[in-house]
Structure 1
Amino acid sequence: MTRRRASRAILWVFLVLPAAVIAARWGLTPEAYGYGHAIKNSGDWAAWLLLVTLAVTPVRLAFRRAAFAQWLMRHRRDLGVASFVYAAAHTMIYLWNKAAVSAVAAEAVRMEYLTGWLALALFVPLAITSNDASMRTLKRSWKALHRLVYPGAVLTFVHWALTAFDPMTAYIHIGILAAILICRAGLTRRRKA
């Protein structure tokens, strides 16, 4: 148990490190780094960690007995929560920049922003219930609730594609997301057969 706690603590050090770098660069060199970099990098980390979280199940199905697959499975919720934390930071940076409810509300109806808000709304209950107590309380409903990660992921990457200056990077990540979901479906079907 002590080794598992140490492993989790080390993981969180690495998960927090990009946020510390973003904050330090923005704080120390606001002219060179600025809002644009902070909003982009926080969004990138939210999306990357979301992809890693979604990749855990196909990795586990493909490499069931491998130590790295078991390690990923044990820490999947940590990765998902970290993804949400970066998404929340991304949202807070956006709100700070807008600095007015009217400006946020005016943009919220546009598809590129609406997809982001809908994704965040789907991820909030997942982040809140990503703990053992919620799993025990919700029982089978917990798994059904956490399947919201899939529509949330689709909305996340559509939001990225619609808001990017150059959407090609977002399209590449959409391809990675599709590959993860196809692998998951194929491996699940093979396991049942």
Structure 2
Amino acid sequence: MAARINRWLRRVPPWLLYIGVALWAGWLFYNGVVGQLGADPVEALELAYGDLALKLLIVGLAVTPLRKWTGVSLIRFRRAIGVTAFFLVLAHFLVWAVLDVQTLGRVWADILKRPYVTIGMSAFVLLIPLAATSNNWSVRKLGPAWRRLHRLAYPAALLAAVHYIWLVKGFELEPYIYAALIGALLLARVEWRPRRGPARA
């Protein structure tokens, strides 16, 4: 079954993900402009962009465990997943900064005074070098350091989950499910080695 799925996936070009996410984001923004996103279209845009970005971060974390446990490989899509996730995080940030908060002074004040904004900005900052180096030239130039740099995706995903939990008003189960998935996927990357007993004479 895994081999059949992998053969089908090899026929799907990764650039379809870029186009699909860009079209979806543009369509959603258009709906906000024409008043189809409810009473607060800015908040609806923020939540929608942020929610899909977090889902893509989770999918990106799942690539290696999925291949290890099932044999299904999404490796060729991992770069597209990461870049589109960053694009949506950037869109989430811009909607908040430009359309919601609107002034640089208030943006900075919110980053300093509101913990959920501070956490969210920390996740955003961690993702910037990952997006900037998601190209073949950077992989060749950085060598082994490239892989170490891209481990920043782990704390970025955790911070993004905490940001979402603190952002929502009241109790909602969805952010906690995302946080649990991220925690489980990170634990799945740990190499558990059996503890050796004392050497016998």
TM over 0.5: yes
Q: TM-score range by the shorter chain?
A: 0.7 to 0.9
Larger C-alpha radius of gyration, 1 or 2? Answer: 2
- The aligned counterpart of 1:105 is 108
Q: Which amino acid aligns with 1:137?
A: K
Q: Which amino acid aligns with 1:84?
A: F
Which of 29, 44, 48 does residue 51 from structure 2 map onto?
44
- Cα displacement string for residues 83-127 of structure 1 (whole angstroms, at most 9, x for unaligned residues): 000000000000112111121111111211100111111000000
- The aligned counterpart of 2:135 is 131
Amino-acid identity (%): 32
Q: Which amino acid aligns with 2:25?
A: A
Q: Following TM superposition, by how much is the alpha carbon of 1:176 offset from its aligned partner in structure 2, in angstroms? A: 1.2
Q: Following TM superposition, by how much is the alpha carbon of 1:5 offset from its aligned partner in structure 2, in angstroms? A: 9.1
The secondary structure found in structure 2 opposite 1:29 is: coil
Structure-1-length-normalised TM-score: 0.86
* 1:58 aligns to 2:60 (yes or no): no
Which of 24, 28, 32 does residue 34 from structure 2 map onto?
28
Judge which range, 18-27 or 141-150, deviates more.
18-27
The secondary structure found in structure 2 opposite 1:37 is: helix
Q: Following TM superposition, by how much is the alpha carbon of 1:6 offset from its aligned partner in structure 2, in angstroms? A: 6.3
Structure number having the greater helix percentage: 1
- The aligned counterpart of 1:178 is 183
Structure-2-length-normalised TM-score: 0.83
Q: Which amino acid aligns with 1:26?
A: G
Counting matched residue pairs gives: 181
Tell me if structure 1 keeps the 8 A contact 2:15–2:80.
no
* 1:16 aligns to 2:6 (yes or no): no
- Cα displacement string for residues 120-150 of structure 1 (whole angstroms, at most 9, x for unaligned residues): 1100000000111100000000011001111
Unaligned runs of 5+ in 1: none
**1:47/1:141 Cα in 2 relative to 1: closer, same or farther (>3 Å)?**
same
Q: Whole-Å Cα distance in 2 between the matches of residues 182 and 16 of structure 1? A: 32
Structure 1 runs of 4+ off > 4 angstroms? 3-6
* 1:169 aligns to 2:174 (yes or no): yes
The secondary structure found in structure 2 opposite 1:48 is: helix
